[in-house]
Amino acid sequence: MRLTVLIRPKAGILDPQGEAVQASLATLGFSVTRARVGRLVDLEIATDDAEAARVEVERMCAELLANPLIESFHVVVENA
């Protein structure tokens, strides 16, 4: 079972990296009103139970993959 975790800086958390990306895109002539930079983690888990896998990955996010003080996360099940 493959799952992807999308981790983002929480709303309200300053993201200077995103601001730099936005400024660089503007330099290249692209019009972007906002850019936020997060992180993604691809995981493979030896199970066929999508729901169990999701629950497990959510626990991984809470314990390590994301810092709940500054980041939100979203788990995507890639194949059932």
Partner 1 sequence: MSEARPRIAVVTFPGSNDDGDARLALELLGAEAPAVWHGETSLPSGTGGVVLPGGFSYGDYLRCGAIARVAPVMNAVRRFADDGGPVLGICNGFQILCEAGLLPGALRPNRQLEFVCDDVAVTVESTGTPFTSTCSPGAELVIPVKHGEGCWVADDDLFEQVVDHDQVVLRYIEDVNGARDRVAGVSNEDGNVLGLMPHPEHAVDPLLGPTGGVPLLEGLVAAARERVSIAAL
What does the binding site for partner 1 look like in residue numbers (CB under 8 A)? 12-14, 16-17, 19-20, 39, 64-65, 67, 69-70
- The rounded distance, in Å, linking the Cα atoms of 60 and 64 is 6
Minimum CB separation from partner 1 for residue 30, in Å? 19
Under DSSP, is residue 50 helix (H, G, I), strand (E, B) or coil?
helix
Kindly tell me which of 62 and 80 has the beta carbon lying closer to partner 1. 62
Partners of 74 in beta bridges: 6
Minimum CB separation from partner 1 for residue 67, in Å? 6
Minimum CB separation from partner 1 for residue 7, in Å? 9
Partners of 44 in beta bridges: 2
Kindly tell me which of 14 and 46 has the beta carbon lying closer to partner 1. 14
- The rounded distance, in Å, linking the Cα atoms of 1 and 31 is 38
